[in-house]
Amino acid sequence: MAKVIVVGAGIAGIAAAIRLRASGHAVSVYEANAYPGGKLSDFEEASFRFDAGPSLFTMPEFVEELFSLFNEPVAPHFQYEQLAIGCHYFYEDGTQFNSPTNREQFAELLEQQLGEDKNAVRAFFKKAAFLYKITAPVFLENSLHQLSTYLNRKGIRGIANLWRINLFSTMHQVNAKRFKKEKTIQLFNRFATYNGSNPYQAPATLNIIPHLEFGLGVFFPKGGMVSITNSLVDLAKRHGVQFYFNSKVEQILTQENKVKGVLIAGESIAADQVVCNIDVFPAYKYLLPQIEMPEKVKQVNSSSSALVFYWGIKKEFKQLGLHNILFSENYKKEFDAIFKSNTIDSDPTIYINITSKLNPSDAPVGHENWFLMINVPANTGQAWDGLIETARANILNKLNRMLKTDVSELIVYESVLDPRTIEIKTSSYRGALYGSSSNDRMAAFFRHANFTSAVQGLYFCGGSVHPGGGIPLCLLSAKITAALVNKKKGKE
């Protein structure tokens, strides 16, 4: 039985620990914080409960698969419901509508509400489903850094269809060519933000993202997003994974290019393999000072970060739902501010997640818990206090204008999360939510692999490595990493 140490109890680290334990390894997870989940955690204040980070749940089969490893039923431990309405959209000219998750209904709605040709929408979804079918087996479900990925039937098919996946056009270019209405183009460009990228730079291959929402479904975990973390931690513990919180790993120990364990509070803890679930930049800088940091890690182009206001609101807004988007008037200007000027636009697109809509206990009666987020640049030393103050005023002006209510008078609780605190709490380099951006057609290949040839027995999982950020990809990252560990052990 090999002894494996997982550094960090983010969702990928938890999932990797579960998979490795199911394969017979002795697994210990060391987490610097007092709680698991990293960004996928929650907190309660003033009778309001807030999911701290991710708020959209897709592809629940990746969670269910972890339970199946131990032949456990999911329902007693983790429950969720599929949503008929995905998002409530608001535009500055007063246009607003609720978006059904059914593709055909959505196509009909865009024709009615925006005057978009429903056949163009249907064609978009058909292409998105095709893109997902040919790219997922190669780019998402296997290591890009092993020859075996490309030498099977699916890999060969994926390579043969590379010319069809729009690598050489941007999302905006393809969307602007397919759709006639600016509002439709903006709506589909928005999906670049799901991995912290810029639709005016990111390859149109990312147009697979809407397929996850409209083709595979949007879901809501009962008990909030944190129930994903809690159910998986409980699963891991039931089957013998050991968790150690408030246990910051100071160094990953190596000897003669082989991993030996970790250093915690000055004490060496031995391991046969180490799986690192923290951002690769701080991992190399702080935990692996004895190893040369790869150039692609040094030169990472960070994804966007977030400015989040957690607001307790003493009113119920009937026009708002679980997921809400209030669009900026000039989308390109907003993304130029984030990715070119490293600042916050004066008219940011606002996302509001209100879990009390489906889980009333998350707020007092007659109140709502607002997770309000805008996309902002990663932390490069900006004068954040001033930027946050200005952004807050701009956000309130926009809310007051579009919701026709003085929202500032309704805030009874407030806390703020910005790129600096994201970086501190989650060890995410520069507070970037998704590690590196996908603002390059070869970005998938530039992400760090789930292993390193420099140190035998050292592996990586999580949003900063292949295949990328977001809950589904982090769970796939864990699957790829665990398979690599098991494959290596099988050869020894």
Give mean pLDDT, residues 24-37: 98
pLDDT at 270: 98
Do the Cβ atoms of 21 and 33 come closer than 8 Å? no
Mean pLDDT of the chain: 93
DSSP secondary structure of 294-344:
PHHHHT--B--EEEEEEEEESS--TT--SEEEE--S-HHHHHHHHHTSSS-
Q: Is the pLDDT of residue 125 over 90?
A: yes
Q: Is the pLDDT of residue 264 over 60?
A: yes
Rg of the chain (C-alpha set): 22
First CA to last CA distance, the chain: 12
pLDDT at 147: 46
- Tokens in use for 302? 């960070």
pLDDT in tens, 424-449: 999 999 999 998 888 876 565 568 99
In this structure, of 34-48, 89-103, 366-380, 427-441, the range with the lowest mean pLDDT score is 427-441
How sure is the predictor about 224, in pLDDT bands with cuts at 50, 70 and 90? very high
- Tokens in use for 156? 């060969």
Beta bridge partners of 28: 5, 242
Q: How much is the pTM?
A: 0.93
Rounded distance between C-alpha atoms, residue 280 and residue 465, angstroms: 7
Q: Is the pLDDT of residue 491 over 80?
A: no
Give mean pLDDT, residues 181-210: 95
Give mean pLDDT, residues 354-379: 98
pLDDT in tens, 303-354: 999 999 999 999 999 999 999 999 999 999 999 999 999 999 999 999 999 9
How many whole angstroms from its chain centre is CA 85?
Answer: 21
pLDDT at 162: 55
Better-predicted residue by pLDDT, 435 or 475: 475
Q: Residue 9, SS3?
A: coil
Beta bridge partners of 446: none
What residue spans define the domains of the chain? 3-34+245-299+442-491, 42-101+217-223+304-433, 105-212
Rounded distance between C-alpha atoms, residue 94 and residue 192, angstroms: 24
Rounded alpha-carbon distances, angstroms, from residue 443 to 137, 196, 227, 431, 439: 17, 12, 32, 19, 7
pLDDT at 168: 74
How sure is the predictor about 144, in pLDDT bands with cuts at 50, 70 and 90? low
Better-predicted residue by pLDDT, 363 or 491: 363
pLDDT at 492: 42
How sure is the predictor about 150, in pLDDT bands with cuts at 50, 70 and 90? very low
What is the CATH code of the structural domain delimited by 42-101+217-223+304-433?
3.90.660.20
Please give the backbone phi and psi of residue 84, each rounded to the nearest 5 degrees, phi first. -85, -30
Residue 306, C-beta contacts closer than 8 angstroms, at least 6 positions apart = 373, 374, 375, 376, 417, 418, 419, 422, 433
Residues in the chain: 492
Q: Is the pLDDT of residue 195 over 80?
A: yes
Q: Is the pLDDT of residue 33 over 80?
A: yes
Give mean pLDDT, residues 42-49: 98
How many whole angstroms from its chain centre is CA 92?
Answer: 28
What is the CATH code of the structural domain delimited by 3-34+245-299+442-491?
3.50.50.60
Give mean pLDDT, residues 408-416: 98
Do the Cβ atoms of 42 and 230 come closer than 8 Å? no
